[in-house]
Amino acid sequence: MKDLSKGAEGKLIFKFAVPMLLGNIFQQLYNVVDTVIVGKFIGNEALAAVGTSFPIIFMLISFIIGITMGFTIIISQYFGAKDMESVKKAINTLYIFVFFASIIVSVAGSLLSGWIFRLVDLPEQIIPQAQMFLIIYFSGMIFLFGYNGTSAILRGVGDSKTPLYFLIGSVSLNILLDLLFVIGFGWGIKGVAFATVISQAFAFLAQILYLNRYHSFLRFSIRELKFDRRIFNQGIRIGLPTGFQQTFVAAGMLALYWIVNQFGLVANAAYSAAGRIDMFAVMPAMSFSAALSTFVGQNLGANRPDRVKRGLRDTILMTFGFALTISVVTVFFGRYLMMMFSNDPEVIELGRMYLMIVGSFYILFTTMFIINGVLRGAGDTFIPMIITLLALWAVRVPIAYLLSRSPEIGLYGVFWSIPAGWFTGVVLATLYYLSGRWKSKAVVRYNAEGKRV
């Protein structure tokens, strides 16, 4: 556990963010390893099946993950205020919520997957493989949500290292099982799904065993779980907009896949593979944004709002360096990055164009995400939801649809729509941050005399 309300702001955020960044990179390796093995050893149809499955998975789990993020903010603010009783109540309530949510999502994902694939016009011959992958994947939801819930608890109390250690072991196991099930046993796409579920189960169960042995305050015990309605309502108030925001993003991804699918299987495979690289490219911004949210939560909980502005300034400077470096790599070496995922020259060329266009604007994504990190840390999640809704559904999706229908632009219109949405998000987030209205949304509040109210 780490108190982020004392010490040099930039140094604290950097040290807290780096393990989260490494953890997110390893988390994405789940998807990348699956994609590489599928693309190289099974083929384009399986690659398209896994690629189209990702936004559906994201759509069905993002709502719950968003609410979980709301509990991270609550835990961080109570921890900053040294209110350990409320911290423990929030932890217990989160575990109960995660358990029931995982059951609902597992059932919904299994029942709705085929309908969603047809809704986005996935080619009929690919649907059986994609549906098989999703049904197996959703059978392990309790492990995925359990790991993410436990990681959210640890981040709230300032520990970003412990989840990383278990995730490294989980990803290593996933790679070995992918090779064994797909190449060794010849199980095809179902082998990829089984490897992912087993690896997620390992990460969650190993994490729980560790906490129960070494951290009595954070220990997990079914008999000790108690539901707190007040804290649950706080978590819903803060997490619900984030959940909707994540769902809007996932639905937008599906909408773009629907447009891409009009251009055929090769376009889908290229877009899916380039999207995996894209996810790695935005990891620094997402990780530092999450770290900044915890930093803001703890400092507002400790009544240190003066540190928030300095924390934002330092985080912007650090992440700009990451964004510029990654832009250079994706723009100039995109072809070689795509060659990791496919042997098809058409797939490689389309993916290279995606990376050249989108990769040139990572600094916009970074700015938008870092500013939103401050807003979320303060407990103001409604306005970021509105900003995301406008940037995605009023700008990105319409532009993608209109430009893609132009014979001169075609599929590239989908690529150009992505930075257009980021630009809109940056402008709106910056204007709202400068208004200062987000400062009044904290769970833990103080009066003018510095006393908690």
Domain count, the chain: 1
Helices (H), 42-157: 44-80, 84-119, 127-138, 141-156
Identify which of 219, 232, 207 has the alpha carbon closest to the alpha carbon of residue 100.
Answer: 232
> For the whole model, what pTM was predicted?
0.72
| Residue 296 placed within a domain | yes
Host domain of residue 336: 9-441
pLDDT of residue 446: 66
**Domain presence at residue 3:** no
- Please give the pLDDT value at position 357: 94
pLDDT at position 31: 65
CA 394/CA 399 separation, integer angstroms: 9
What own/partner pairs with CB < 8 Å and gap ≥ 24 does 392-397 have? 392/248, 392/249, 392/252, 392/421, 393/248, 393/252, 394/424, 395/420, 395/421, 395/424, 396/252, 396/256, 396/420, 396/421, 397/252, 397/255, 397/256
- Answer whether residue 1 is part of any domain: no
Please say whether the beta carbons of 339 and 397 come within 8 A: no
Position 381 scores a pLDDT of 82
- pLDDT computed for residue 83 by the predictor: 82
| Residues 38 and 268: beta-carbon distance below 8 Å | no
What single string gives the DSSP state of each residue in 252-306?
HHHHHHHHHHTT-HHHHHHHHHHHHHHHHHTHHHHHHHHHHHHHHHHHHHTT-TH
Q: Residue 115: what residue type? A: W
pLDDT at 26: 74
- Is 211 within a domain? yes
CA distance 431 to 428: 5
In this prediction, the residues of the chain whose per-residue pLDDT falls under 70 are: 1-3, 29-34, 52, 55, 120, 441-453
The 10s digit of each residue's pLDDT in 109-166 is 888 877 877 776 777 778 888 888 888 988 888 998 888 888 878 877 777 788 888 8
C-alpha angle 89/93/96, rounded to 5°? 145
Residue 405 lies in a domain: yes
Residue 450 is assigned to a structural domain of this protein: no
In-domain check, residue 228: yes
Residue 2 belongs to a domain: no
